[in-house]
Amino acid sequence: MAAEEGEKKKIEIYPSSSSSAARQVTPFWKEKYERDAKKYWDVFYRRHKDKFFKDRHYFDKEWGNYFKAQEGEKLVILEVGCGAGNSIFPLVSTYPDMFVHACDFSPRAIDLVKAHKDFSSNQINPFVCDLTVQNLSDVIQPSSVDIVTMVFVLSAVSPEKMPLVLQNIRKVLKPNGRVLLRDYATGDLAQARLTSKEQEISDNFYVRGDGTRAYYFSEDFLSNLFIENGFDVEEVGICDKQVENRSLELVMKRRWIQAVFSLRLNASNFAEKLDQEANGHVINKNASENPANNPEIDLSESIIQIFDVSLPIDEVTEIKVRGHAFRIKALPREYQHTCKSTGLMLWESARFMCNLLAENPSVTSGKRVLELGCGSTGICSMISVAFAELVVCTDGDVKALKLLHENIMLNANPGLIQKMVIKKLMWGNKEDIMTIRELGDFNLIIGTDVTYYAEAISPLFETASALIANNDTETRSGLILCHMQRRVDEDCILSAAAEFGFKLVDKWINGINPNVGIICSWFSNVAWMNEFKNVPLCILYFEVGA
């Protein structure tokens, strides 16, 4: 039934139970996210400082009874994954007599804690620690901590390493110590978003756009994880809450898990717990019985993060090359692994080709140049226009073209801008190709980092074939492709090239340099090559004809 006139229908977004399984990231990227996890979080805190998360004032309401020390006693707290201190400082403000150990594996986060206006070394001991490889007991006296708080931190650890974290915590907990935990739960809206964007690392484990990771817990998984590592479950439950964003007309389903675990005292207690579980014992689920009692939603996910309303296209990269100095705005590099709009970033192949063209004006001199998939930076085109008759910059991404226009206006020589044209071009799109053809044929076509996706290679060559000029007695038309070796299928490239009338004339691989050939002649000045000496770059040079 249609909504009443004038009434806007609100969008409801829920995890889809019918959606197909997400395509997991490749082993290469899975290993990289694991290896560079510390770096990604350090970059996160460099960018957001202490402005991203809200201070967590709900500790007293949710777990206040655990923070009440006996008369004459001083509670010792360990905050695991303290970040910028959004939990620490509200906690010590409420309970000024406690002492807090605060650890995080991001050095920048620890620096933010120390720089906080309320920081006192007499009350807070911040230190850098990766709980999967470093011993807490090297910093904290064994069996000295009353309470460990873990707020949206265990989810950042790969599932196979979570037991290492719990075993590490056990070493410093007192015999009656407890772990207070709040984290992501399966079925949360953010999980559905990550699934739809094909950012799954393993079951319920995902990578965000900035390279940080998040695991979404079920009650069974979390309970079993702690039980198997020497803890008893006192409370565990899933909290559900509908959150409405009126400006975006969205109703969102947010879910988180909240739990309390105690250190198991002996083996008999452990056996008793297993018997209770086997007999259908129901663990206390106070946290989930009435979500309205949990009004503060703290899921470390902003509206912008979830729906990609905007991206932080604010990183300025300075590029100096043979008398040219560019200040290029682009998406920060930490987004390169998961952002679908790859044209918003500055890639190594473009930087490399930019230098090559600057050192070899003859490559573009007097020619009509077309750049395919130039993205938002346009540095190859801006170098080429100084020597070429005309340069046409193209990309299929409207966002990239908008930023490209801004970068060109900020950097290109005003006297040369009239020789530059920016056009939308989706490879294989006949309408787009006809629009470009109205500008005439091209003697030189350039593409950097445009051959990553096998399904796009054939349309690329089809488009190049439709737009490149036929060879004449004075000028031979060429197509130059530059890419990172490890991410392309060269057989696919050569097959598509032959299908559309292109012949591979020369090939150059960084580190395996031939002594003769067209491309080799472009490297008479190799001083600038030092910057790229360890980058696995490859150049393919094609001409029209068999």
Judgement on whether residues 226 and 370 belong to the same structural domain of the protein: no
pLDDT of residue 538: 92
Kindly list the averaged pLDDT for each block of 10 residues, start to end, along the chain of length 546: 42 39 70 85 75 74 85 88 89 90 91 92 94 93 95 94 95 93 91 79 88 92 94 92 67 86 66 46 43 52 48 76 86 62 81 94 95 93 94 92 92 89 95 95 95 88 95 81 80 93 93 78 84 87 84
* Residue 147 in domain: yes
Judgement on whether residues 225 and 82 belong to the same structural domain of the protein: yes
Pick the last residue of a domain from 307, 342, 363: 307
Which pLDDT tens digit goes with each residue over 111-166? 999 999 999 999 999 999 999 999 999 999 999 999 999 999 999 999 999 999 99
* Residue 256 in domain: yes
Residue 57: other Cβ atoms inside 10 A: 15
Judgement on whether residues 28 and 147 belong to the same structural domain of the protein: yes
Which pLDDT tens digit goes with each residue over 308-330? 445 566 678 888 888 888 898 88
How much of the chain exceeds pLDDT 70, in percent?
79
Is residue 167 within 8 Å of 121, Cβ to Cβ?
A: no
- Nearest CA-CA partner of 443 in 508, 526, 519, 365: 365
* Residue 95 in domain: yes
CA distances from 540 to 200, 329, 480, 484, 502 (A): 34, 28, 6, 11, 11
* Residue 417 in domain: yes
Judgement on whether residues 375 and 397 belong to the same structural domain of the protein: yes
Question: What total number of domains does the chain contain?
Answer: 2
Judgement on whether residues 400 and 525 belong to the same structural domain of the protein: yes
pLDDT of residue 199: 83
Q: Is the pTM of this model over 0.85?
A: no
Per the structure, the complete domain to which residue 489 belongs is given by 315-544
| Alpha-carbon gap, residue 209 to 270, rounded angstroms | 41
* Residue 478 in domain: yes
DSSP assignment of 241-307 equals EEEEETTTTEEEEEEEEEEEEEE---HHHHHHHHHHHHTTPPPB-HHHH-GGG------S--HHHHH
* Residue 2 in domain: no
Q: How far apart are the first and last CA of the chain?
A: 63
Please report which residue ranges of 161-236 form alpha helices under DSSP H: 162-172, 189-196, 219-228
Judgement on whether residues 330 and 217 belong to the same structural domain of the protein: no
pLDDT of residue 289: 44
Judgement on whether residues 96 and 204 belong to the same structural domain of the protein: yes
Judgement on whether residues 512 and 436 belong to the same structural domain of the protein: yes
Pick the last residue of a domain from 307, 336, 352: 307
Judgement on whether residues 242 and 341 belong to the same structural domain of the protein: no
| Alpha-carbon gap, residue 205 to 215, rounded angstroms | 4
Tokens representing 201 are: 């690392």
Which residue type sits at 78?
A: L
Is residue 346 within 8 Å of 326, Cβ to Cβ?
A: no
Pick the last residue of a domain from 307, 342, 370: 307
What CATH number is associated with residue 190? 3.40.50.150
Judgement on whether residues 233 and 208 belong to the same structural domain of the protein: yes
Tokens representing 226 are: 């702690």
Which residue type sits at 456?
A: A
Judgement on whether residues 482 and 424 belong to the same structural domain of the protein: yes
pLDDT of residue 73: 82
Which pLDDT tens digit goes with each residue over 341-350? 667 878 889 9
Judgement on whether residues 278 and 331 belong to the same structural domain of the protein: no
